[in-house]
Amino acid sequence: MIRHVLATMIMIVVAISALAAPKPGEIPLPYPAVATSAVAGQYVTAPSPEFLANAFEKGAASQTFIFYGAWMVAPGSAESKLKTLVNKEITIPNSLIVPIRSGGSAAVGDIVLTTWRSGSGMQRAIVVPGGVATEPRVRYLDIAFDNPTGWGTREDTLLPNTFHRMSGTLEPGAIVAQRSGAAFKRAQVVHVQGEQVLLVGFAGRLAVAARGDCVVLPLRPAVKAGDQVWAPSIGSFARATVERVEPAIGRVFVKLASGRTAAVAFGDLALALQ
């Protein structure tokens, strides 16, 4: 009798676990499973599966997502197998995989999407002198200019096929001002599907927004000293005044209402929000 009860309980637990298991390509947000444009051998950036598991367990609003470089091994219809830079094979929903177009080249002043070669994380970067078209020398734009590591002002050289030029449109890697009530939040595009946009925002939190609520910020803002702009501030945007523009390093130095000067990356500055 006891053995029969235990067997029944085990079957119930297994059934519940099966029901709770995520479907292929599913993420803990109202976003569809999608295909991928990446092919085997292509460089991509994606989060760790541990982040995804934690988000399913605790909720997406409680989980930070960091995107790492990886190589596509086997693309699937809803999720794909990747090999990380430490040679570990993982499976990730396609909506969370950002393909980096192969065969990229870039010239000084171009803004590219890549990953931090000497660290981790999806990065936009501006090309500076000293490299070649297929192995450009860059400064990363998604590292704070005053980061204690010094990487906000240091240069790095990208490897071939690990970057592509950004277009300034609503594409993965682009920075948007996401309308949230009467305010706007700063977020980075991960994926676009029809009228839905998957974003990663402040503190690495994932969110889904309507396409019409996402304002793409210009890659190269046409501003000058004295102009009034909107600059990122703790995940949102605040009014600021341009002090100077340094196009060679892709930064606009602004003064916030608090009196603090901030070095805002190209692609992060809004000229008007309404």
Q: Residues, the chain, total? A: 274
- Mean pLDDT, each 10-residue run in order, the chain (274 residues): 48 43 95 98 97 96 96 98 96 98 97 88 96 98 95 96 97 97 95 98 97 97 97 94 98 95 97 86
Cβ contacts of 262 within 8 Å, gap of 6 or more: 231, 233, 240, 253, 254, 255, 256
Q: What is the pLDDT of residue 120?
A: 76
Interatomic CA distance for residues 110 and 218, integer angstroms:
13
Q: What is the pLDDT of residue 3?
A: 53
Q: What is the pLDDT of residue 17?
A: 42
pTM of the model as a whole: 0.91
Q: What is the pLDDT of residue 20?
A: 66
> Is 181 part of a structural domain of the chain?
yes
What is the domain range of residue 209?
A: 175-216
> Is 208 part of a structural domain of the chain?
yes
Interatomic CA distance for residues 98 and 256, integer angstroms:
33
Tokens of 68: 């790492």
> Is 106 part of a structural domain of the chain?
no
> Is 79 part of a structural domain of the chain?
no
Query: Is the Cα torsion angle 22, 26, 31, 32 positive or negative in sign?
Result: negative
> Is 193 part of a structural domain of the chain?
yes
Q: What is the pLDDT of residue 41?
A: 98
Interatomic CA distance for residues 67 and 115, integer angstroms:
8
- Read off the CATH number of the domain in which 200 is found: 2.30.30
- For the chain, the domain total comes to 1
Q: List the Cα angle 125/155/163 in 5-degree steps.
A: 35
> Is 86 part of a structural domain of the chain?
no
